[in-house]
Structure 1
Amino acid sequence: MRLQEKVIIITGSCTGIGKAIAKRCVEEGGRVVIHGLEPELGQEVVAELGAENAVLHIEDLSVEGVAERLVALAVLTFGRLDAVVNNAALVASSNIHTTDLAFFRQILEVNTLAPFALIQAALPYLKPSKGCVLNIGSVNGWSGEPDLMAYSVSKGALMTLTRNLGDTLHREDGVRVNQINPGWVLTENEARRKHEQGLPVDWYKDVPPVFAPSGRILWPAEIAAAAVYWLADESGPISGQIIDLEQHPLIGRNPPKN
């Protein structure tokens, strides 16, 4: 039980990676605040995990005060707060020609500013527990796909936030801040998004080797397994680190042979 009695807020945990992290946290002895925008799906997650282990909060992260309400719910329900997982994100296609400032601001609000706000609201409770923050980024934060411009920029900014707070909060308050950058993961939303872009329903069964040398893309449970290390005490004093979780290197990769 690597997370015994730890209380963890996980944004965007009604589906996908966040849901997988929540399930793994409870398996490891933790208790979780489930968050998202889908009440029915969130209720299903809480029912699966048990009311003694999970509580649900449904609210858009761009709404004023949501960070404070998430923290208050954790403390009121479980009596403490040990960790925050900033997982929720808006994934929307855009490029230099299709991105206006209103859209860009919306992406940054959810993907970068909301994580900052939640860390800020949680800090008074993370300090006494010597807790931690785990930001869920993306390998796109290093440069990004042509049609994921705003999303990629928001994840690049999240990396800088992690580096900055991973140093200052650890040094001043004993709170660790780290980030994992998943590669291509088979979440419910990703499966639907690719199908809406014209791929067959079972597109993930035949992914080109250039994108998936193993023959498949990553599973949410594999990201969750990695997340536990950073949330557990076994990761020790490590802070301010960015870890890519992909099945091929992003820098120095050998070009595929024809």
Structure 2
Amino acid sequence: MRLQNKVIIVTGSTTGIGKAIAKRCVEEGAKVVLHGLEEEWGKAVLHETRGDKAVLHIEDISREGAAERLVQLAVKTFGKLDAVVNNAALVASSSIHTTDPSFLRKILEVNTIAPFSLIKAALPYLSEQKGCVLNIGSVNAYSGEPNLLAYSVSKGALMTMTRNLGDTLFRENHVRVNQINPGWVLTETEKQRKKDHGLAEDWYKDLPSVYAPAGRILWPAEIAAAAVYWLADESGPISGQVVDIEQHPFIGRNPPKDASTIKTSK
């Protein structure tokens, strides 16, 4: 039980990567604050985590006061707070031609400012426990795909924040801040997104090797397994680190011109 008795907030945990992380945390002995927008999905995850090990909060993470409400729910329900997983994110296609300032602000509010607000609200309690923050970013943080401009900008900003706070908060508060950058992950929403784009029901079973050398893309459970290390005490004093989790080197890997344009990463 690598997370025995720890109390962890996992945002965006009613589906996908967040759901996998929350379930793995409970399996490792933690108590979890589940969060998301989909109440029905959230209740299903709550049932899967046996109820007494988790509590559910449904709210748009970018709403004023949402961060404080999540933190207070954790402390009121479980008596403390050891860690925060900033996983909730808004993934939306956009390019320089389709991105206006209003749209960019919306993406930044959810993907960058909301994680900052949650870290700030949680900091007094994380300091008491000498706890940690794990931000879930994206390999798109380095430059991103042509049709993911706003999203990529938001994840790049998140990565800079992780490195900045990973230094300052560890020195000043003994709170570690690290980040995982997943590559392309087969979540429920990713399956649906590609179907909405006109692909076949089983599109993920036949992918170009340039995107999936292993013959498949990543599973949420594989990201969750990696998350446990950063949330557990075994990661020791390591802070301010960003780890890419993908099956090939992302930077500098240029697909051939005839490769499918199917890809959209986490």
TM-score higher than 0.5: yes
Identify the residue that residue 128 of structure 1 maps to in structure 2: 128
Q: Percent identity?
A: 77
After superposition, the C-alpha distances for 1:104-144 in whole angstroms (9 at most, x for unaligned) are 10000000000000000000000010000000000000000
Could you tell me how far apart the structure 2 residues matched to 1:55 and 1:19 are?
13
Is 1:25 the equivalent of 2:17? no
Could you tell me how far apart the structure 1 residues matched to 2:189 and 2:100 are?
24
Could you tell me how far apart the structure 2 residues matched to 1:252 and 1:232 are?
32
Q: CA RMSD in A?
A: 1.3
Could you tell me how far apart the structure 2 residues matched to 1:81 and 1:65 are?
18
Could you tell me how far 1:61 is from its partner in structure 2?
A: 1.1
Identify the residue that residue 145 of structure 1 maps to in structure 2: 145
Identify the residue that residue 262 of structure 2 maps to in structure 1: none
Could you tell me how far apart the structure 1 residues matched to 2:252 and 2:156 are?
20
After superposition, residues 198-209 of structure 1 pair within 5 angstroms as: 198-209=198-209
After superposition, residues 1-258 of structure 1 pair within 5 angstroms as: 1-253=1-253
Could you tell me how far apart the structure 1 residues matched to 2:28 and 2:42 are?
20
Letter in structure 2 aligned against 1:115 = P
Letter in structure 1 aligned against 2:250 = L
After superposition, the C-alpha distances for 1:217-239 in whole angstroms (9 at most, x for unaligned) are 00000000000000000000000
Could you tell me how far 1:255 is from its partner in structure 2?
A: 6.8
Letter in structure 1 aligned against 2:125 = Y
Could you tell me how far 1:9 is from its partner in structure 2?
A: 0.2
SS in 1 for 2:90: coil
Could you tell me how far apart the structure 2 residues matched to 1:254 and 1:192 are?
26
Could you tell me how far 1:251 is from its partner in structure 2?
A: 3.1
Letter in structure 2 aligned against 1:248 = H
Could you tell me how far apart the structure 2 residues matched to 1:105 and 1:161 are?
17
Range moving further from structure 2, 4-13 or 41-50: 41-50
Could you tell me how far apart the structure 1 residues matched to 2:235 and 2:207 are?
34
Could you tell me how far apart the structure 2 residues matched to 1:66 and 1:154 are?
19
